[in-house]
Structure 1
Amino acid sequence: MRFKKLDLNLLVALDHMIETRSVSAAADKMFMSQSAMSNALTRLRDYFDDPLLVQVGRRMEVTPRAEAMRPAIRDILVRIEATIDSKPEFRPEDSTRVFNILLSDYSLRVLMPTVFRLLDRYKSSIRLNLHAQTDLPQVLLERGEIDLLITPEHFVSNDHPTALLYEDRYVVVAWAKGKFADVTMDQATYQSASHAVMVPPNAAKSLETSLLTQCGIERHIEVQTFSFTNLPHLITGTDRIATVHARLAKLLAPQAELVTYPMPAQLPPLRQMLQWHAYRDNDPGIIWMRELMSQAAQELP
């Protein structure tokens, strides 16, 4: 299809080249030969009268013109994808649609087992791709690379719709046979203890770290990990403590031999949200998945 003498298929190629900064990687994504992708780049350069991608050292960089066009191109493609994916009705028992969901390992452990049980209950034939949390999940949502995002309310984008799934709170956990097996977990004890903590991608602050900092509480951190669900097991057999979600602590306490204490500070509840792209607000498949996620959250203990 052409619009103002531009083959619109070239916009898809340009989108991939801008994202990957590579002709060969973009060709792989579109199942094209590298020569075909190079030809597409040549045609795009001629049309826009701009090099678009230029070689800088061992890698390619986008020109200011290409960077300026990127949001509009992605916006057009997401709109088209949303229109194509959206059908008059959605039948989960007949659909083979793949839904891409981005979430933390905490949500994976607490919520998703119930989601999968519901999928079996409804005899759904859909498929789920679960993606690990990143430092900029909103970018993947904007680009249409994920269908649903599960994240604390603190991290949602104001540009897209959201729904509350459930609330949780933070608790302190310690090894049931260690130094902190039977203590008063006040602020002084909490701050003097050695902690194991989860550090998000790109070394960003986790939500509980930000909340504790706001309360003026600093922790003596000895262990950092990338996983919430590993924290309880990492302190088993040690005199370290960890701050985890109450729902996660309840699930893992028997396995990791833990005792649980209330937080020594009043932290606001964790509100776990579901977010989707505004263009897919009326997508019957997304609506069905949102309702399924909500039902799963309601069935949590």
Structure 2
Amino acid sequence: MLKGLSITPPVIGRISIGRVVEKNGKRLPEKDDQFTLTTQVQQRGEWMLHPLNESLRKVTSGKLRAIPVRFLFNDPNLNLRAEYSLFDRDTGRPVCVGNGETCRRAGEAGIEALPCPSPDGCAFGQAGNCKPYGRLNVTIGAEDELGSFVFRTTSFNSIRTLAARLHYFSAVSGNLLACLPLELKLRGKSTTQSYRSAIYYVDLGMSGGATLEETITQARELDARRKAAGFDQSALDAAARTGFANGAFEESPEDGAAVAEEFYPEGEPDGSSGKAQTAQGQTGNDRPTLRDKLDRKTALLGGAAA
């Protein structure tokens, strides 16, 4: 196994609740009120729809707001990885990733292990627009039982809700999370930050209107069949855990373009409130990189502290 390369679950598609659209010459993320399943291939700047996207919509006869899923692993933390993350907006590569206690930061001397006070208490994170970033892997359908669809999100609501549900379902089922027939659900809420307009986040529930007891019974039956066939779930979890730990960062260079486009929309300056703006006096190739800005900001903060 190549050291320094994080081995992640094979991905055969993407799950999103929005898309990137072009407005006034800039590519910006636009939220939606339904799920969309896509492949990993783009054509003319748009992700190609996955065949399951259409087949699932036929079942719902409308907007896709629930997706039947299963999970690859019994360990909730393997299915959903959530960290505070700061990416280089020009390359999409991770610069700093932390959990609120410790972080791994890429510098000139390599990867450093440092304290992580969370974005609100970190000058480095505030300068670079550090955000919570979660990746959820699920299986959909039976075409590829070890292939997954990935849902990437920077939503506190989605990350917090999914983390709670995964741990709760794991607990009540006796650690049979990988055998539970569940579904991703889209929920809406209004907050003061959204100016009382609806925002959407992802939740997890029982599939097909089944009760919790029925869902657990189905999970036990599937677990028994898998064990009889020689399926070793514990070994699969252990292999995934080893693979994730093999690299300092989960995102690969190939993911960089998508991360840069969705995590840092064009025209959003580092450390901004999220509104699309254009930095004055910085156009085209003259725009400094995120690393340049962070270095200058860190130097200024260090000088002020002195």
TM-score scaled by length of structure 1: 0.22
Looking at secondary structure, tell me which structure has more strand per residue.
Answer: 2
Larger Rg: 1
Looking at secondary structure, tell me which structure has more helix per residue.
Answer: 1
